[in-house]
């Protein structure tokens, strides 16, 4: 299946690019290349001296970058963005990066390709790994994890209040036949959930929870944010687009933590400079959400949020 079969529309494109404050000769990192929607636009704004380093943990994203491969300003690396510092170190560009973009979560091509197992609306193997060369599939995990672990994942990462009931149903099902497909998991959830939300498929939350767990998404985000700030030069920008409240909370808290100076007891004789010495970033404005026009064109972007920070 070619990666170009499934389309992807870049989210908050103009807003994230203006957040990055692209300098034509600058060095930028697109830490979540996907199908290169944001990368293509960054390249348009770079001069022949500029440089774009792209990362993605999904091999289909890497394949789709072939169209940029002849551009000497561009390179792509098949790694998780938690390794951003290793990539930049190897390129000997530490603290020389002008901007890092992280457009996290799954891409439309990942959701739309039934063989990836991300969607409860398309029947396929229950895989859900962004990087199929490592880790274990969602089915393998669900078929061996214990009740407490499954309940914790559904409740914590899926915010599913019926997590325990669903976990019980998984344990009962796998004695009869191990789970293999997205449709089997979706049907099991549908039967286990006693109260249905009018506007949401009952499997929405559980699929999100298992996906976040299988891909270690919140740990990735924490490590990726930390690494991104470390590779930036002073004045460099970090732009993070997230798709649900759990991720946005991590990004928001991270920026807030790094934009606060030392907690100093009141009344101590200390200069403003000493207070500021510990701040690593400043938040650039508030969270930005897609316009009504963008949502009308691409309903999947409706929950996206962009946050921008500048390294001091
Ligand atoms: C929402 S899409 C990005 C779309 C992209 N901005 C575009 O316009 O085409 C997210 C991409 O990030 C990748 N990704 C998610 N988590 C990652 C991680 N921890 N490290 C590297 N890539 C990751 C996914 O594989 C996916 O291709």
pLDDT at position 5: 63
pLDDT at position 94: 97
Query: How many angstroms separate the CA atoms of 17 and 199, rounded?
Result: 33
Which domains are delineated in the chain? 3-109+218-311 (3.40.50.150), 132-214 (1.10.150.170)
Query: How many angstroms separate the CA atoms of 49 and 97, rounded?
Result: 14
Mutating to test ligand 1, I would choose from 79, 130, 218, 219 the residue with most ligand atoms within 8 A of its C-beta, which is 130
pLDDT at position 2: 39
**Any ligand 1 atom below 6 A from CB of 56:** yes
**Any ligand 1 atom below 6 A from CB of 38:** yes
What percentage of the chain carries pLDDT values higher than 90? 88
Query: How many angstroms separate the CA atoms of 298 and 62, rounded?
Result: 24
pLDDT at position 187: 97
Query: How many angstroms separate the CA atoms of 177 and 207, rounded?
Result: 20
Query: How many angstroms separate the CA atoms of 65 and 56, rounded?
Result: 10
Query: How many angstroms separate the CA atoms of 47 and 34, rounded?
Result: 23
Tell me, what DSSP letter sits at residue 125? B
Q: Quick one: tokens of 301?
A: 């972007």
Q: Quick one: tokens of 265?
A: 């007891």
Helix (H, G, I), strand (E, B) or coil at 263: coil
- Residue 1, pLDDT > 70, answer no
How far is the centre of ligand 1, averaged over its atoms, from the C-alpha of 263 (Å)? 36
User: Mind listing the pLDDT tens digit for each residue in 241-286?
Assistant: 999 999 999 999 999 999 997 677 777 777 777 766 777 999 999 9
**Any ligand 1 atom below 6 A from CB of 58:** yes
The mean pLDDT of the chain is 94
The region of weakest confidence among 40-49, 150-159, 192-201, 209-218 is 192-201
Mutating to test ligand 1, I would choose from 12, 60, 107 the residue with most ligand atoms within 8 A of its C-beta, which is 107
Residue whose pair of structure tokens reads 């921008």 in the numeric block: 308
| pLDDT confidence band for 6 (50 / 70 / 90) | low
Q: What residues have CB less than 8 Å from 76, skipping those under 6 apart?
A: 33, 53, 54, 55, 56, 62, 65, 68, 69
Average pLDDT over residues 110-116: 96
Query: How many angstroms separate the CA atoms of 74 and 33, rounded?
Result: 12
Q: What is the pTM of this model?
A: 0.94
How far is the centre of ligand 1, averaged over its atoms, from the C-alpha of 162 (Å)? 29
Average pLDDT over residues 199-222: 96
**Any ligand 1 atom below 6 A from CB of 32:** yes
Identify any residues that bridge with 240 across adjacent strands, giving them in sequence order: 102, 307
The residue whose C-alpha atom lies closest to atom 2 belonging to ligand 1 is 107
Average pLDDT over residues 3-27: 88
How far is the centre of ligand 1, averaged over its atoms, from the C-alpha of 121 (Å)? 21
pLDDT at position 7: 67
The residue whose C-alpha atom lies closest to atom 20 belonging to ligand 1 is 80
User: Mind listing the pLDDT tens digit for each residue in 160-192?
Assistant: 999 999 999 999 999 999 999 999 999 999 999
The answer to whether the beta carbons of residues 122 and 109 sit under 8 Å apart is no
pLDDT at position 232: 98
Query: How many angstroms separate the CA atoms of 289 and 89, rounded?
Result: 33
| pLDDT confidence band for 140 (50 / 70 / 90) | very high
Query: How many angstroms separate the CA atoms of 162 and 193, rounded?
Result: 6
């Amino acid at each position: 299946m070619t990666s170009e079969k499934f389309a992807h529309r870049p989210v908050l494109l103009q807003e994230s690019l203006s957040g990055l404050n692209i300098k034509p000769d600058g060095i930028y990192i697109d830490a979540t290349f996907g199908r290169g929607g944001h990368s293509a636009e960054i390249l348009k704004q770079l001069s022949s001296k500029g440089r774009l380093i792209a990362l993605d943990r999904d091999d289909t994203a890497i394949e789709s970058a072939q169209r940029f491969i002849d551009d000497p300003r561009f390179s792509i690396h098949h790694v998780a963005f938690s390794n951003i510092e290793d990539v930049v170190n190897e390129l000997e560009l530490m603290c020389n990066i002008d901007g890092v973009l992280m457009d996290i979560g799954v891409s439309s091509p990942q959701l739309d390709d039934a063989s990836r197992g991300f969607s409860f609306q398309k029947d396929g193997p229950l895989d859900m790994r962004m990087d199929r060369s490592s880790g274990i599939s969602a089915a393998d995990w669900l078929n061996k994890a214990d009740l407490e672990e499954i309940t914790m994942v559904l409740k914590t990462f899926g915010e599913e209040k019926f997590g325990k009931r669903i976990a019980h149903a998984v344990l009962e099902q796998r004695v009869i036949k191990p789970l293999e497909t997205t449709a089997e998991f979706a049907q099991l959830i549908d039967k286990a959930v006693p109260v249905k939300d009018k506007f949401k498929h009952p499997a929405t939350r559980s699929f999100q929870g298992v996906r976040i767990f299988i891909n270690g998404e919140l740990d990735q985000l924490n490590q990726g944010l930390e690494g991104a700030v470390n590779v930036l030069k002073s004045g460099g920008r970090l732009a993070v687009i997230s798709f649900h409240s759990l991720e946005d909370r991590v990004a928001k808290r991270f920026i807030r933590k790094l934009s606060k100076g030392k907690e100093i007891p009141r009344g101590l004789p200390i200069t403003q400079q000493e207070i500021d010495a510990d701040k690593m970033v400043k938040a650039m404005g508030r969270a930005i959400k897609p316009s009504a026009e963008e949502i009308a064109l691409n309903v999947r972007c409706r929950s996206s949020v962009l946050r921008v920070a500048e390294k001091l």
